[in-house]
Amino acid sequence: MKNVRITLYGIPNCDTVKKSRAWMTEHGLDYEFRDFKKQGVPADRASAWTKALGWQKLLNRQGTTWRKLDADTQATVQDDASARAVMQLYPSTIKRPVVEWQVEGQSEPQIHVGFVPEQWQTLIDTQGQD
């Protein structure tokens, strides 16, 4: 894609991340992969994600990691700041993947969470191919 930098955040063994990476490769998209387990969750990005999407959409309260947290830790999550704190400590509580599409000339990237090929295809169609 012209003038678009794609960053995909997730965990390599996550099935949804694997599907997402395969889809991008099949569509000839160059992207940077950031591994939550090895590189952690960048605090500035987590803040931007919760601002753009809302912590309720970003925090995976259905996943295994969340269910394994003690009730007191779960109860601390009340707002953006407390959700980000839990996501920083337990990156697997973040829905995956988080994908940033930084279009040249735009100050903030478009942010998607989960495997959403329809939205990605729209971005490709809008930005055009090289």
* 14: annotated active-site residue: yes
d(CA 115, CA 119): 9
Which residue, 36, 61, 23, is CA-closest to 45? 36
Catalytic residue among 14, 53, 85, 116, which? 14
For the chain, first and last CA: distance in Å? 6
d(CA 6, CA 127): 12
Which residues on adjacent β-strands are paired with residue 118?
none
Which positions are annotated as active-site residues?
A: 14
